[in-house]
Chains A and B, each alone.
Chain A
Amino acid sequence: ETGVTQSPTHLIKTRGQQVTLRCSSQSGHNTVSWYQQALGQGPQFIFQYYREEENGRGNFPPRFSGLQFPNYSSELNVNALELDDSALYLCASSLERLNTEAFFGQGTRLTVV
């Protein structure tokens, strides 16, 4: 068991709404990354947080934003939802910023209608 937990597991939102997804990192891990996995595709890197600061961002628009808290848990916020935002959102935590072994949570399945 990885120890990375995400909530909620599923949710349905309407186009134009805003959504917040949550991730609790594995104990002792100070780095968290978020990935979007559309149906039938591999995960795509959204951004990474290290010690509460953004540390790298993929090719996603600014309406995708995040936070990391002092306890290293994290949130992914998406504003102005679009139908194409429907996907599995995965959170991964690492022991350190330069440690490449990432442990993934079970994901949050977001459906935008």
Chain B
Amino acid sequence: AQSVTQPDIHITVSEGASLELRCNYSYGATPYLFWYVQSPGQGLQLLLKYFSGDTLVQGIKGFEAEFKRSQSSFNLRKPSVHWSDAAEYFCAVAQREYGNKLVFGAGTILRVKS
């Protein structure tokens, strides 16, 4: 069965510091990978996606992620965090053969300290 693991439940970083959120997946075929962000009480906003091609993908709000097949990872990075980045971040994998259902990780809550 497909699964997504986000090892860090909470991460706290200082404003201006760099950020890396970890994501590992278990999926037999070439995955379609996503990062979503969720502010409290809100829906999910897509930050970036990987379908194929260049393994380093750029997203909105200055985020990027790198797909590493050998490590089954799709870590999210940002060189300089802003206070407004505080939110919960979800990694997800899509299964095309099952109607594109998204399988989500449990999420990582990012806190930004000033």
Contacts and interface: CB of A to CB of B under 8 A. Distances in A.
A24 to B, nearest CB: 13
Interface residues of A, number: 31
B44 A104 contact: yes
Contacts of A101: 46, 49
B103 A45 contact: yes
B43 interface: yes
Contacts of A40: 106
B96 A43 contact: no
Contacts of B96: 98, 100
Nearest to A31: B100
A102 interface: yes
A98 B102 contact: no
A78 to B, nearest CB: 19
A100 B104 contact: no
B99 A43 contact: no
B43 A41 contact: no
9 contacts: A33-B102, A42-B90, A42-B104, A43-B44, A44-B104, A98-B100, A100-B51, A101-B49, A104-B44
Interface of A: 2, 4, 31, 33, 35, 40-45, 48, 50, 55-56, 58, 90, 92, 94, 97-107, 109
Given A43-B90, A100-B96, A109-B41, 6 more contacts: A2-B45, A43-B44, A45-B103, A56-B100, A90-B44, A100-B51
